[in-house]
Chains A and B, each alone.
Chain A
């Protein structure tokens, strides 16, 4: 049926005067489970099927979507998309131009071992409740929480240029959180990462690999210990960031500023713009010589939340060098913005949250290449620093210069050894100054493709999953502690 609905939409759009049309039919299934203090919280499944139709008519864009999947419903939706495009043309300055792309007919599915929707829900609940019990064994824990979420996205992309691409993506994720209130302080620890845990384009085998029950006592004990830990000191210091925190640092201070729609002002009203104006391409020293960052949507990079075979305007997955030996070398682009800056081809980064949303430029897997350091050697090589792990808060200005992060936990490094725990670690800085201060990156043995499942962008806002490969890294002369300074 998907192909028939798509064909109807394309035919109608062309008949109504569209010079180009593309269609995404998407069938999305979710399962969400959460537990709290020994009880099941959320237990829900959902499915959503619909069609999104994007057209160019009178040289301008229009988009309409519907879940009325009858012949009449799809025809009305396509006609509405064309009518909207013609209304857009009232404020047109020039015709939409797209970088060329050939047509593809293909089918793809990400590999996975265990379909999470076929795993009995009671088994999934039992795992979360077992971890919950382990956390609550630790005296001082006031809230123990666990969550799992699974997503299966089946989509068909069809364009008036002849593409017909069928893809199925299976996504899994899970995490646990221990929270403790004491005195006048709330502390928390999460595993494998904060804000929902770790998510990848994999099956249930990913969740099993976390050993949530095994890690539950450790994070609960650390959480309670934070209350009696020393406050993280303030000042200009060396810091070492754990892999998941570095992943979010990449997301905010590299991933967003390289979005070409931001650079060209298309997101100015909400998400903001970017300091990476086009004259900086291949001229700006973004980071130190050891900093190499790629935007890689290919499966060869790993099964990240930004992995696919084709993007949502039918462009094949690619690897784009973003920072090469410290030099800024590439943007995230689509067919329209690539054309606007004279690039020959889209970077293939158009993605939409669902069938009722317009595809837009989104991060794929924005990853820092591994360095050469062994983790223990990095610690031994560091005389005086703060090691910070697991994000607690994040914020950055609307051009992506100034950021501030805090993490759940930290440790002082003194004389090459990890010493006392510190609470409330935070650091801040200016993006390019920070990345130019990077002097050590751990090797592939410590590199993980972290998933950020909650990236928001666009109006109406779309939430998208992005991938960030990172290993622990060291930065010099960073401002530490400002978030808690009086």
Chain B
């Protein structure tokens, strides 16, 4: 048997040929003595330039290729993964998956692997992104740092670019291939008593504008100078898409069939009941033009567009194949790679937007809070869906329809179920990047009675 070396992978325009990845899978199928065998190959190339104190202090690049083998034998399954590409290691991983699978009780929920599927095409690989050089990123960072320096401020942030490819194939004939690029710029601008932040990501690096993001963060920092303290309490609050994302991201697993089956979803007993406002509709839609990710799930089923919430009422959940069978419904193509105990989740959330601008939201607010960024959000109560967290990098008081200056940061303790029942205005839904959740398509929200429980020291 010839040795698999990097020469086996023909790389063109930053991509490995699909046929080469399939060749590795075929070799593993031949090695495997399992009843059924699944192979996942993930190739990642990433680079990230990190800056702080107006200089680059970390600058990294990585290349990885992991080969994962799942064996099924006599109603049992297990997985072994390696990044060692020599024949001995591949054989060892294949044998390890089989040995692990054999040494466990039978799994009554395990279904046969899926056969070949047809997928809707998505185009999420932009060659300009993996072609970005360290020099390109360094020049953009240098420009941003010099601009911020002129304003007597300090910048910290990242500029990253990369690509990933994956193949999911099995011995029943499935072969699903996906490739994607990604880039991100994030910047925090600081003065002694204030800060501002902005972040954006896209599969296409040409859509990232570091200068605009840095100018926005710099402006937020300037405008939040000398923050004053006001008492904690319930305030009308304007949350930008990044903050909405970080909050509603905690809801994603609640829409999993398994979570409802296990009675640990906040939707247990609430499906079909109008618990959110009439203006809240949510889909999971892997094909939305602002979404990213593959058109298939961890088992290779095509992802379906699912209407999760319709005008305030949770209508549908998502299901992996085994969950669907248990709950006597059809799978939706949202399963995680097997084996796992969590089942599935919607990974491409899209919220319905509105037509209100941020300016209009401010203009119509007599007294309220304008948030830039939320931080360190954690779940306090899983059924009431109370989350706690902090504001940071630019929190403002709104008085009489105008921004009236910066505020010291708050801690909040807020039920997300109640929050989504209290949304007064929605902006257009955009692709947002936060810190606590994967990217989603969400709008700016103006929310009444948002509960800020305490104030911190800055």
Contact = CB atoms under 8 A, between A and B. Distances in A.
B390 A43 contact: no
B251 to A, nearest CB: 15
The size bracket of the interface on B is 35 or more
A39 B262 CA distance: 13
A43 B79 contact: yes
A84 B59 contact: yes
B263 A186 contact: yes
B380 A268 contact: no
Nearest to B134: A87
A151 interface: no
A185 B269 CA distance: 12
Nearest to A360: B58
B416 interface: no
Interface in A35-65: 35-37, 39-50, 60-65
B122 interface: no
Nearest to B82: A47
B381 A269 contact: no
Contact of B59 (A37, A61, A129): A61
Interface stretch (B163-171, B281-289, B353-361, B449-457): B449-457
A289 interface: no
Contacts of B53: 93, 264-266
Interface in A151-187: 179, 181, 184-186
Contacts of B457: 275, 399, 401-402, 430
Given A40-B339, A91-B145, A181 B383 contact: yes
B375 to A, nearest CB: 5
Contact of B454 (A125, A266, A428): A428
A482 B413 contact: yes
Interface centre among B58, B157, B197, by most A CB within 10 Å? B58
Nearest to B453: A482
Interface stretch (B20-28, B184-192, B310-318): B184-192
A39 B75 CA distance: 13
A145 interface: yes
Contacts of B64: 50, 67, 356
Interface in B259-300: 262-264, 268
Interface stretch (A104-112, A298-306, A390-398): A390-398
A73 B80 CA distance: 25
A37 B108 CA distance: 12
B66 A48 contact: yes
Given A90-B139, A397-B409, A483-B380, A181 B268 contact: yes
A463 B93 CA distance: 25
Contact of A397 (B54, B139, B142, B375): B375
A142 interface: yes
B58 A358 contact: yes
A114 to B, nearest CB: 18
B378 interface: yes
A64 B154 CA distance: 27
A92 B176 CA distance: 45
A4 interface: no
Interface string A345-361: 00000000000111000
B81 A44 contact: yes
A84 B60 contact: yes
A60 B56 contact: yes
Given A62-B59, A93-B55, A406-B380, A483 B388 contact: yes
Interface string A406-427: 1000000000000000001010
Interface in A170-212: 179, 181, 184-186
A47 B81 contact: yes
A270 B435 contact: yes
A90 B142 contact: yes
A85 interface: yes
A268 B389 contact: no
A404 interface: yes
B84 A47 contact: yes
A461 to B, nearest CB: 10
Contacts of B158: 269-270, 459
Interface stretch (B43-51, B241-249, B301-309): B43-51
Interface in B373-388: 375-384, 386, 388
Interface string B324-349: 00000000000000011110000000
A460 interface: yes
B382 A186 contact: yes
A356 B63 CA distance: 8
A247 interface: no
B208 interface: no
B81 A91 contact: no
Nearest to A44: B79
A276 to B, nearest CB: 13
A404 B232 CA distance: 15
Given A43-B77, A143-B264, 15 more contacts: A39-B109, A39-B341, A41-B342, A43-B101, A63-B58, A70-B6, A91-B55, A125-B105, A181-B263, A265-B53, A268-B154, A393-B380, A395-B388, A399-B456, A483-B386
Interface of A: 34-37, 39-50, 60-68, 70, 73, 77, 80-81, 83-85, 87-88, 90-93, 120-122, 125, 129, 142-143, 145, 179, 181, 184-186, 264-270, 272, 275, 356-358, 392-399, 401-402, 404, 406, 424, 426, 428, 430, 459-460, 479, 482-485
Cβ-closest 8 pairs across A and B: A41-B341, A87-B134, A181-B263, A46-B81, A402-B456, A268-B156, A269-B156, A36-B341
